[in-house]
């Protein structure tokens, strides 16, 4: 029944032809695009051209001739439509964590007196580390971090809070916060908002400008498919760009970097959020990868994302496996991943990989399955559910080779 349903859903899928924009093995079912997106067609050639023409032949001249110097702004403008952001508010640079440090520090300096950051207890750990590291640098008399469980966040938003720092889609269970509702509630209380959009950019029709978001960060290597270690991005609303100042005053954030002045004068606009020399090869790859979104309606992407999640839940329910749903049951409350608890989650995921289905594991016991609507088919999910059922029912995951933990889980 699942196979017949999958075939019917695939036949009616308007995004089905987009899979051809990816260099994916036809034998592999890839359900980990929420961790690392696959290689889009055209990225290899773009990087090779940069190597052969710009670096090998142009050498240092390519900063001008190939316009390397403006790549952070150009790639930022490619990302902006995926965020619902007007021009001049997004720049590509550094990592998500570094960029979070920048915007959090900038937000704190916009607050008169002591600042209190409200965040979620289950937020992505790196975000919590960055926030606490900044607290240690500034001192607890200047910055306080308060975290509460996700279900208590909205109620905890009151005038004692200065900054709301949230990840839009929870990395461990896929739970989705209502970005608009939280942002508007925060704004009504004079609270600044910072959103980490790493697990939602490219698969949810974000509307940052319209919602009134103040700051946002995200990565380029998940749904944007920019490759391992792809640079992140920063969004700063126009209204804050004249008054916000980020603390990492590197030379690329200088108003005149090649004047080599011993004193720092900040650039205007989004250039002030640059720090060091941009990673050209990575940005070229990300820029080429972003072409997968050409002509794509993000509302259609979000619609298929919900369909994929519901279909996967249906397949799992039909299989009657000894697993427990970790994600919200309502598709409108999920991002593009569905997660399950299993006592041997790590080993199950390893055994499943040997059956050409790649999901991933998050400690302590979560099996995470991510569905990128631009390349995941319903038939993929039907076959993956069948193979997962086989792994669990036959207990093949108990083999010794699946039990040993690797460095990256």
21, 101, 368, 380: which one is catalytic?
Answer: 368
Q: Which residue is catalytic, options 221, 311, 361, 375?
A: 221
User: What's the Rg (C-alpha) of the chain?
Assistant: 22
Residue pair 29/385 in contact by the 8 Å Cβ criterion: no
Q: Which of 292, 393, 283, 400 is nearest to 350 (CA)?
A: 400
Q: What distance lies between CA 79 and its chain's CA centroid?
A: 12
**Residue 124 annotated among the catalytic residues of the structure:** yes
Q: Which residues contact 216 (CB under 8 A, 6 or more apart)?
A: 83, 103, 194, 195, 196, 197, 208, 234, 235
Active-site residue, 214 included? no
Instruction: Confirm whether 221 is a catalytic residue.
Output: yes
Distance CA 357, CA 163 (A): 41
Neighbours of 332 (CB within 10 A): 9
Catalytic residue (one of 21, 222, 302, 304): 222
List of residues 6+ apart from 277 with CB closer than 8 A: 252
Bridge partner residues of 215 (DSSP): 194, 236
Catalytic, 368? Answer: yes
Catalytic residue among 22, 30, 101, 124: 124
Q: Which of 94, 196, 214, 360 is catalytic?
A: 196
Whether 222 is catalytic is yes
* Pairing mode of beta strands 337-341, 324-325: antiparallel
Q: Among all residues, which ones are annotated catalytic?
A: 124, 196, 221-222, 368
């Amino acid at each position: 029944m699942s196979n017949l349903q999958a075939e019917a859903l695939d036949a009616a899928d308007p995004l089905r032809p987009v899979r051809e924009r990816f260099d994916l093995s036809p034998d592999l079912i890839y359900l980990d695009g929420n961790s690392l997106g696959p290689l889009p067609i055209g990225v290899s050639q773009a990087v090779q051209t940069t190597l052969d023409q710009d670096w090998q032949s142009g050498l240092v001249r390519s900063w001008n001739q190939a316009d390397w110097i403006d790549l952070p702004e150009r790639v930022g403008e490619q990302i902006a439509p995926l965020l619902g952001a007007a021009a001049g508010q997004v720049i590509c640079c550094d990592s998500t964590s570094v960029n979070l440090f920048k915007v959090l520090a900038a937000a704190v300096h916009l607050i008169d007196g002591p600042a209190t950051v409200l965040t979620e207890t289950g937020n992505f750990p790196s975000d919590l580390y960055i926030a606490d590291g900044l607290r240690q640098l500034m001192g607890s008399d200047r910055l306080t971090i308060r975290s509460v469980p996700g279900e208590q966040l909205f109620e905890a938003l009151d005038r004692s809070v200065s900054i709301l720092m949230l990840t839009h889609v929870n990395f461990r269970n896929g739970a989705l916060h209502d970005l608009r509702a939280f942002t508007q509630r925060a704004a009504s209380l004079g609270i600044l908002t910072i959103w980490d959009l790493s697990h939602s950019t490219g698969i949810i029709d974000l509307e940052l400008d319209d919602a009134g978001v103040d700051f946002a960060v995200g990565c380029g290597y998940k749904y944007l498919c920019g490759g391992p270690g792809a640079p992140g991005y920063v969004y700063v609303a126009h209204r804050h760009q004249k008054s916000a100042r980020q603390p990492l005053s590197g030379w690329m954030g200088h108003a005149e970097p090649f004047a080599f002045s011993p004193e720092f004068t900040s650039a205007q606009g989004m250039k002030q959020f640059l720090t060091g020399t941009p990673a050209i090869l990575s940005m070229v790859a990300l820029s080429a990868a972003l072409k997968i979104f050409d002509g794509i309606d993000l509302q259609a992407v979000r619609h298929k994302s919900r369909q994929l999640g519901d279909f996967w839940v249906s397949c799992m329910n039909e299989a009657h496996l000894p697993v427990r749903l970790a994600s919200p049951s309502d598709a409108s409350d999920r991002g593009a991943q569905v997660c399950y608890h299993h006592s041997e989650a790590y080993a199950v995921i390893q055994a499943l990989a040997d059956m050409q289905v790649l999901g991933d594991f998050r400690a302590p016991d979560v099996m995470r399955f991510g569905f990128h609507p631009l390349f995941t088919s319903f038939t993929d999910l039907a076959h993956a559910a069948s193979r997962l059922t086989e792994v669990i029912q036959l207990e093949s995951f108990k083999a010794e080779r699946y039990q040993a933990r690797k460095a990256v889980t």
